[in-house]
Amino acid sequence: MAGGSFLLADGLVNDGDAKSGVFYWKVRRGDRSRAPAPTNSFNVRFMPTYRAPLADIRFVLEDLLDVGQLATLPGYADATPDVLVAVIEEAAKLCEDVLAPLNQPGDAEGCHYEQGAVRTPRGFRDAYSAFIQGGWPAMVATPDFGGQGLPKISHVVLDELLCASNLSFSMYPLLGHGAVGALERWGDDELKRRFLPRLVDGSWAGTMCLTEPHAGTDLGMIRTRAVPAGDGAYLVTGTKIFISAGEHDLTDNIIHLVLARLPDAPPGTKGISLFLVPKRLPTDEGTAGSPNGVTCGSIEHKMGIRANATCVMNFENARGWLVSEPHKGMRAMFTMMNGARLGVGMQGLGLAEVSYQNAVAYTRERLQGRSARGPAMPNAEADPIIVHPDVRRMLMTMKAHVEGMRALTYWVGTLIDVEERHPDAGRREEAADLVALMTPVIKAFCTDLGFEMANLALQCFGGHGYIREYGMEQFVRDARIAQIYEGTNGVQAMDLLGRKVPEGDGRLVRRFVAIVERDLAAAAELPTLVPIVERVRDAVERLERVTGTTLARAAKNPDEIGAVAAEYLRLFGLVAVGWMWTRMAQIGESKAGSAGVAASKRSTAEFFVTKLLPETQSLAARIDAGAAPVMALDATAF
């Protein structure tokens, strides 16, 4: 986008100076044209931009995680670091050059609904065509149905790039990717043959249809019904709401995975089955044929992600096919849901990254006041605001959280590959435990931080951050939904503390803590890292202590879990990122004197453990307070 010019939806044109980093608006109205020149006083309009953080991505994959080890797993022999980096670099070009320029115009235009049809914003169809022509939907799918069979970590990285460049667009292929994963694991051979090739290549899209007007988190209340059609199919009837990408014009068919009840279903979640229901019935040749009984009743008018259609979907005797076994739909759907939860966590990371990038660019350009140490730019009328300590505080907070989140999420991405491919059953089991433990943490912790970091970036812009043209307020709006969908962050916290932590008598947590303690011991062998190690070790001990005391209290009072779960999850996330920063500092220390990404890791780790990790102390105090302060007030007193 830098250095280029493109017509926006409302007639605004972006002219960019790639060297100076200054971006400004030119307004075209009829034969009048006025283009305010960039000046140091910043009487200009700043355009948000995005550049994939390739150097840091390579650092995490190669130096921190040694992703080359994945090539030793069965089926991944060709997935060398050079191959993965080459793939990621190509993805970066698509995101920077095609998707990011559509982000603001797509938000301004939104989706259009008319008589059951949805039209995506201008440019989205061409962008989606470029996306599928590049083979991106197929990158990690099984080669048996046209996939490229790359490691799952490569898709984790792709998710970050897509979400950072254009969150609304990213959600269209995200749902198809989830449908592929669910069908690969739970679909029978016939369903795979008929639907997977089109889903894998992206020519057909996917959704998951769970929520109903009266049933959100409590899916046991759903009323959508499925009755046998007599020929192996079922007729599905009901209404689903909040269906992301439920209807659009990017593909000629959309495959809905729908939760519904069979006539003999027991009550609650034990009576839920999963059905594949296409928008159009496939022909014998595998093309989209006649319409099924699936219609979009309306689309929502939302705070953010406006370029993604959030739909009310009506199913009226729509033909569908059972996925997995009768009454076992939740088990199958959780394959898709857990993958989507990790994907939503990447939304938090992506938006935090792009917000941080633009905050840095703006604070380097915006001239206001003088440095407390004396003029940094004596020949200018003021200094750039990046010299001011409070601005540095915000930038360092964003940098530390963004890079820490990236390390943590990518680590979990590699664990997914180990869980699926490692020849040693014990290693697969360990990886599965850690993925299960970290899934609610990634979803909730990273989306909380995504919203917080977008708000910090807006604050760096001052009043300009509140103005639509500068783009920061869109990042804030877009980030907010990630804390809600795919299970609210409160639900994620209760899943962590109420289910994952006690599982196997604490087996999952013990495995995590053992890895952390091993790495802390290794880092402590470098005397310069001892202060960092000690702070992280204190936080780990704090986590272990409150875990034991909270579970003991919960055995006597069931309200204890819900009352402190949110604080517990945040404490867990901070400890996990603190561990990652210890490892990154160790690598940075071993490359002392070198240039590039590694050179900044030691200083950023010091900032994290001294300025951000101490939050674990207040979190522990709040957890220790238990349920009593939360539940003491009678409900009638609110």
Give 372-411 as a 3 state SS string. CCCCCCCCCCCCEHHHCHHHHHHHHHHHHHHHHHHHHHHH
Q: Which of 184, 247, 419, 486 is catalytic?
A: 486
Token pair belonging to 599: 């050179």
Compute the Cα dihedral for 509, 514, 515, 521 and give only its sign: positive
CA distance 523 to 192: 48
| Amino acid occupying residue 629 | P
Phi, psi angles (nearest 5°) of residue 286: 90, 15
End-to-end CA distance of the chain: 51
* E strand or H helix at 278: strand 273-278
| 469-474, long-range: CB < 8 A, 24+ apart | 469/12, 469/25, 469/45, 469/47, 470/45, 470/46, 470/47, 470/48, 470/362, 471/46, 471/47, 471/48, 471/103, 471/104, 471/358, 472/48, 472/355, 472/358, 474/48, 474/103, 474/104, 474/107, 474/304
Q: Please indicate whether residue 486 is annotated as part of the active site.
A: yes
The burial of 506, by beta-carbon neighbours within 10 Å (0-12 exposed, 13-18 middle, 19 or more buried), is given as middle
Cβ pair 448, 570 in contact under 8 A: yes
Cβ pair 329, 274 in contact under 8 A: yes
CA distance 522 to 513: 14
Cβ pair 314, 130 in contact under 8 A: no
State the catalytic residues. 486
